Amino acid sequence: MARTKIVVTLGPATDNLGIIRRLIEKGADVFRLNFSHGTPEEHARRIAAIRKAAAGSPIAIIGDLCGPKIRCGRFANEPATLKEGNPFILTARAIEGTDGAVSVSYKRLPREVKRGDAIFLDDGNIELRAEEVSGPDIRCRVIRGGDLRSNKGINLPGTTLSIPALTPQDRRMIKFGVEQNLDYFALSFVKSPRDIYDARRLIRALGADTPIIAKIEKHEAVRDLEAIIEAADGALVARGDLGVEVPLEQVPLIQKRIIALCNRRAKPVITATQMLESMIEKARPTRAEAADIANAILDGTDAVMLSGETAVGKFPCEAVEIMDKIAQTAEENLDERRLLMEQLLPEEGNIPDAISQATAQMARSLNASAILCCSITGYTARFVARYRPPCPIAVFTLNPKIQRRLQVVWGVVPILMKEMKGSRKRDGFDAIIREAVKETLRKQIAKRGDRVIVTAGLPLGVGGATNMLRVLEI
């Protein structure tokens, strides 16, 4: 299997236990539930199916919050045809849509749009220009026309709206996700670190510590990118809305910047949207899609994500299998990235960072078969992984929650261990290492006679205290 993690979105095409099992067999590491669609009851059923299909494997589940997506209302007859040069009205009034007007889901929109603003519909396929705001109506001119259907998205790339990132629906789904013990929340339409802080306060008030992945898809987020990544637990390059919010030609460079910032901070990053879009209908991807996946991996992404390909596509299992093959091939050519990351100076005075860098360098220079990492919080594993060592990172943890969360981190094989008495003593630690070696051999991560690198924090039980490095012949 690839060391790059594969995130699979569930939907109607993959909504049964047998297919979920096949997706895991083909290489799925993480499942995404899109809370923009479906009821809590439907999502609860899918969560139960994932856990049954995983059969004890550490498969992670991400709850993707829908966020304040602004959408068109419903049309009386679909599709409505918007012709270039014609007038068109977006209105806060409750109306049935026609070729000349449609309602909007955000009723404050007319107060926040001004004359001359560009407005994009349906992922940028249709472009309007605001000419006049009159009460609840935004009177527009169609700049680029097309067919428009109900509930399509609305983007205003040059306008900052006051709508909060957390909607009442999101708050309900966070409560649902905490009750279901989800492993991550993906926060949509993040504009500033404050959005992350607001979501984290709610999660903590519910008695949970679920990590937050910031979806980068707003022009405001690009301006405040470093602070957002610092506040979040990871990031997702959401290229769909991002490609409408900023000029299209900037998206590849923004993607590279997001990945680089996450790598430097040892936070997982997921690259998403249209990675194998053609496989919604066809059994094989395009060459450009294969190159897109490979380049994201060479840039340093931890994970690549399938959306419509597995949610509604005709070939969901084949899409996972092909993505896994492309990833494996790309990973064979990571030497340049490894050398680049090894040149980064560890943060001054940061012992865990220095140990993690040394671990990856030693694994490379000693031709180690594996890195064995004992970790309470996953901190050490993330820092070792950012250097992209040329061997698997077997992470042994006592916490099943941390085990599942590490499924998003590149190259990590998370393994659950039972707590041992006396583990804070040196002989207790040696016993844990012996058990770790046995498990490494059992899972065929390494074999007898191989060299492995061991890293951990002593005494065990103190998170983020990595201070030990050892070379073993097993």
Burial class of residue 27 (count of CB atoms within 10 Å of its CB; 0-12, 13-18, 19+)? buried
Q: Is 215 a catalytic residue?
A: yes
DSSP state of 463: T
Task: Please check whether residue 71 is in contact with residue 153, taking contact to mean a CB–CB distance below 8 angstroms.
Answer: yes
Tokens of 461: 């039980």
Q: Is 382 a catalytic residue?
A: no
The active-site residue, picked from 21, 32, 69, 388, is 32
Helix/strand/coil percentages in the chain, nearest 5: 40, 25, 40
Task: Please check whether residue 457 is in contact with residue 355, taking contact to mean a CB–CB distance below 8 angstroms.
Answer: no
Which secondary structure element, helix H or strand E, spans residue 361, and what is its range? Answer: helix 351-365
DSSP state of 19: H
Task: Please check whether residue 88 is in contact with residue 59, taking contact to mean a CB–CB distance below 8 angstroms.
Answer: no
State the sign of the Cα–Cα–Cα–Cα dihedral 351, 200, 245, 30. positive
Is the bond preceding residue 459 a cis peptide, omega within 30 degrees?
yes
DSSP state of 346: P
Task: Please check whether residue 257 is in contact with residue 271, taking contact to mean a CB–CB distance below 8 angstroms.
Answer: no
Which secondary structure element, helix H or strand E, spans residue 428, and what is its range? Answer: helix 426-442
The active-site residue, picked from 21, 139, 200, 215, is 215
**Alpha carbons 282 and 315: distance in angstroms, whole number:** 7
The string of DSSP codes covering 285-319 is --HHHHHHHHHHHHHT-SEEEESHHHHT-S-HHHH
Task: Give CA separation, 158 vs 8, 218, 220, 246, 255, in Å.
Answer: 32, 10, 9, 9, 20
Q: Is 273 a catalytic residue?
A: yes
Which SS3 state, helix, strand or coil, does residue 436 take? helix
Task: Give CA separation, 373 vs 352, 423, 464, in Å.
Answer: 12, 15, 12
The string of DSSP codes covering 3-16 is SSEEEEE-SGGG-S
The active-site residue, picked from 14, 210, 273, 359, is 273
Reported residue count of the chain is 474
Backbone φ, ψ for residue 148 (5° rounding): -125, 135
Backbone φ, ψ for residue 32 (5° rounding): -110, 130
Helices (H) and strands (E) in the chain, counts: 17, 22
The set of catalytic residues is 32, 71, 215, 273
